[in-house]
Chain A
Amino acid sequence: MITRRYSRRDLAVLGFGLGAAVLVNVALIWGPTLASVALSGTDWNGISELRWIGTRNYGDLAGEYPPFWSAVRNNVLWLAFLGLIATPFGLFCAVLLDRRLKLSRVYQSALYLPVVLSLAVVGFIAQLVYSSDYGVLNAVTGLTTDWLGDSSINIWVVMVAAAWRHVGYVMIIYLAGLKAVDPALKEAAAIDGASEAQTFFRVVFPTLRPINVIVFVITVIEALRAFDIVYAINKGRNGLELLSVLVTENIVGEASRIGFGSAIAVILLVISMGFIVTYLSQLFKEDHR
């Protein structure tokens, strides 16, 4: 174990290295985060004097700002779609790909190719597929639906595009987890006469618990962070409202309702922190063992 005391030079190196890390982190991440919380109690517009108005922003949000509730609804939908459809499908593909198939590499590459694409590019590709006048979907099906413009369906269509990317991500993580499962477990189950489904649900799946938690939290965080793809399609308006878009819109746009935008940001923060804490406690619990 290290018991020696550090030389003066060592301390200087450490102080500089860690100091820079902490400084950057506090100045650019946690400082602004705390400042957002403070700003959410003001009606600042970027120029005026800071004036404390308590929780009025939150009241206005809930009561007098219709986009807020549609954004909440869309974020919840987004989460449900990724969590109940895309994530299980990613797990399913991982299980299938875990059997040393020939061509497994090819299938894997195809599935996670979208992961490396910018969501902005995914947004453009989505337009190519879904465009109402000459999108491929309408050409193939013969429909004339305005997939991206109709505010009652466009969120679904965009979620499919987001899931396109999410499945590959989840698949890689589960595949790595499945590879780490002790093959002896599966063999023992097979010898005991368990069917493949039984082996998976009773033996393999429970050992994936830490990975399940991680995937769950990644899914939640992805759903809360969703932004680029809707922004690339129609700037997150007309049915595609998301909390992240509302924050950006209130702050960057001409409106410049910074206090108000910050209140939305704080709601986003509170929800995320809950899941971040779950995630980290799962990760760091393993360290104790």
Chain B
Amino acid sequence: MTLTASRPTAVEPGQSQIKRPFRPLRLVLHVFLGLVALGWLLPLLLAVYASLRPYVETAELGYFSLPRTLTLDYYSQAWSQADLPKYYLNTLIIVVPGVILTLLMASFTAFAIARLRIPGRRVLLVVFTAGNLLPPQVLITPLYTLYTLIPLPWWLSDSLSLYDSYLGLILIHVAFQFGFCVFVLANFMRTIPEEISEAAMVDGAGVWRRYWQLTLPLCRPALAALSTLQFTWMYNDFLWALVLMSSGDKLPVTSALNNLRGQFFTDYNLLAAGSLLVALPTLIVFQLLHKQFVSGLTLGSTKG
């Protein structure tokens, strides 16, 4: 293991051999990790490459060949043929309220569990967290039946029931992701010094004020991490929409890819372009909020 003394401050693999005579291992390490990283990116790069080439060309030469023509046509074709703008909007209608509601409910619950010493708080935390870990299939049937039985007014759902409505999908996302968020936030809140909240209480601040004005602003890092993660998870969902939606035009964007499959013939180059367009928002979020994404994943598993 590299000792703390030999902190390599941006040393080139080659140079480090001069500094420390016996370090060919470092080069091997870089070669190995470089190859692994390349291998990991390869399928994505391949999809990008395929999406830039016309079908006729790849059909003739195969995907593993030098390009004759490169074109962005497939992107515009996927964009319009799969009606992507509409489906992006559908996803947005589901994911944005989903993330906000989840975080609101989870942060209040976490606040109550971590700060207020309400009776039974441990049981609550265990039950909520366990709910997040269930395979969705375990609750699908009764949920489906329940959804068809709950009537909604026409202005909330044109199917007149929770089934096949945006609200239904939002609710199941909230319910399913809630446990994870409560768990992460409760742990995070325990690390905030209690004195702040106690001082406010002495000053006569009520529960809501201590939650909304004192605790929540201090949870910003955890909230940022969770919203990044929740955005990605809800965006990527495939199953809930499949089971709880029936109208094709209300489906989220992950399901819209099926519109690009022909009945007899599927143009994989077009599908590649479509897949990349669908993946783009999460890739952008991941690049921009890299730190939040990683800390979100590790907060949940290693307790910050």
Encoded as 1 (CB less than 8 Å from any A CB) or 0, chain B from 211 to 242 comes to 00000000000000000000010011111001
Chain B at the A interface: mostly helix, strand, loop or mixed? Answer: helix
Contact of A276 with B268 in the complex, beta carbons under 8 Å: no
- List A residues 51-66 near B (Cβ within 8 Å): none
User: Complex formed: what's the CA distance from A167 to B40 in Å?
Assistant: 10
Residues of B within 8 A of A115 (CB): 297
User: Complex formed: what's the CA distance from A164 to B106 in Å?
Assistant: 31
Contact of A199 with B272 in the complex, beta carbons under 8 Å: no
- Is B285 at the interface (CB under 8 A from chain A)? yes
Residues of A within 8 A of B145 (CB): 46
Residues of A within 8 A of B232 (CB): 116
Contact of B172 with A225 in the complex, beta carbons under 8 Å: no
User: Complex formed: what's the CA distance from A180 to B299 in Å?
Assistant: 13
Contact of A228 with B238 in the complex, beta carbons under 8 Å: yes
- Is B69 at the interface (CB under 8 A from chain A)? no
- Is A107 at the interface (CB under 8 A from chain B)? yes
Contact of A227 with B137 in the complex, beta carbons under 8 Å: yes
User: Complex formed: what's the CA distance from A145 to B2 in Å?
Assistant: 45
Contact of B139 with A36 in the complex, beta carbons under 8 Å: yes
Contact of B126 with A280 in the complex, beta carbons under 8 Å: yes
User: Complex formed: what's the CA distance from A143 to B131 in Å?
Assistant: 46
- Closest approach, in angstroms, between the C-beta of A22 and any C-beta of chain B? 8
Among B116, B175, B176, B298, the residue within 8 A (CB) of A14 is: B116
* Chain B residues within 8 Å of chain A by Cβ, number: 106
Contact of B138 with A265 in the complex, beta carbons under 8 Å: yes
Residues of B within 8 A of A225 (CB): 135-136
Contact of A124 with B1 in the complex, beta carbons under 8 Å: no
Residues of A within 8 A of B40 (CB): 110-111, 113-114, 164, 167-168
User: Complex formed: what's the CA distance from A277 to B183 in Å?
Assistant: 15
Encoded as 1 (CB less than 8 Å from any A CB) or 0, chain B from 84 to 124 comes to 00000000000000000000011011001000111000101
> From A244, which residue of chain B is reached at the shortest CB distance?
B137
- Closest approach, in angstroms, between the C-beta of A46 and any C-beta of chain B? 7
Residues of B within 8 A of A157 (CB): none
- Is B70 at the interface (CB under 8 A from chain A)? no
Contact of A244 with B141 in the complex, beta carbons under 8 Å: no
- Is A211 at the interface (CB under 8 A from chain B)? yes
User: Complex formed: what's the CA distance from A192 to B277 in Å?
Assistant: 54
Encoded as 1 (CB less than 8 Å from any A CB) or 0, chain B from 182 to 225 comes to 11000000000000001001000011100000000000000000
- Is A32 at the interface (CB under 8 A from chain B)? yes
Residues of A within 8 A of B58 (CB): 134
Encoded as 1 (CB less than 8 Å from any B CB) or 0, chain A from 121 to 159 comes to 100111111010011100110000000000000000000
Contact of A124 with B257 in the complex, beta carbons under 8 Å: yes
- List A residues 264-282 near B (Cβ within 8 Å): 264-266, 268-269, 272-273, 276-277, 279-280
Encoded as 1 (CB less than 8 Å from any A CB) or 0, chain B from 128 to 143 comes to 1111011111111111
> From B10, which residue of chain A is reached at the shortest CB distance?
A102
Contact of A286 with B303 in the complex, beta carbons under 8 Å: yes
Residues of B within 8 A of A13 (CB): 206-208
Contact of A101 with B29 in the complex, beta carbons under 8 Å: yes
Contact of B138 with A111 in the complex, beta carbons under 8 Å: no
Contact of B278 with A21 in the complex, beta carbons under 8 Å: no
Contact of A228 with B139 in the complex, beta carbons under 8 Å: no
Contact of A218 with B140 in the complex, beta carbons under 8 Å: no
- Is B156 at the interface (CB under 8 A from chain A)? no
Residues of B within 8 A of A169 (CB): 297
Residues of B within 8 A of A128 (CB): 43, 46-47, 50, 63, 268, 271-272
- List B residues 237-257 near A (Cβ within 8 Å): 237-239, 242-243, 254-255, 257
Residues of B within 8 A of A102 (CB): 8, 10-13
- Closest approach, in angstroms, between the C-beta of B175 and any C-beta of chain A? 4
With A21-B108, A21-B109 as contacts: A129 and B46 at CB distance below 8 Å? yes
Residues of B within 8 A of A227 (CB): 136-137, 238-239
Contact of A25 with B282 in the complex, beta carbons under 8 Å: no
- Closest approach, in angstroms, between the C-beta of A222 and any C-beta of chain B? 10
- Is B72 at the interface (CB under 8 A from chain A)? no
- Is B66 at the interface (CB under 8 A from chain A)? no
Contact of A18 with B134 in the complex, beta carbons under 8 Å: no
Residues of A within 8 A of B41 (CB): 110, 113
Residues of B within 8 A of A99 (CB): 1-2, 29
Contact of B286 with A265 in the complex, beta carbons under 8 Å: no
Contact of A119 with B238 in the complex, beta carbons under 8 Å: yes
- Is A76 at the interface (CB under 8 A from chain B)? no
User: Complex formed: what's the CA distance from A259 to B56 in Å?
Assistant: 49
Contact of A100 with B282 in the complex, beta carbons under 8 Å: no
Counting from the closest, the 4 A-B pairs by CB-CB distance are A35-B142, A110-B37, A118-B236, A32-B139
7 CB-based A-B contacts, threshold 8 Å: A93-B33, A116-B232, A139-B65, A172-B298, A176-B298, A248-B137, A272-B135
Interface residues of A (CB under 8 A from B): 1-2, 4, 6-7, 9-10, 13-14, 17-18, 20-22, 24-25, 27-33, 35-36, 39, 46, 93, 96-97, 99-103, 106-107, 109-121, 124-129, 131, 134-136, 139-140, 164, 167-169, 172-173, 176-177, 180, 183, 186-187, 190, 196, 199-200, 210-211, 214-215, 218, 221, 224-225, 227-228, 231-232, 243-244, 247-248, 251-252, 258, 261-262, 264-266, 268-269, 272-273, 276-277, 279-280, 283-284, 286
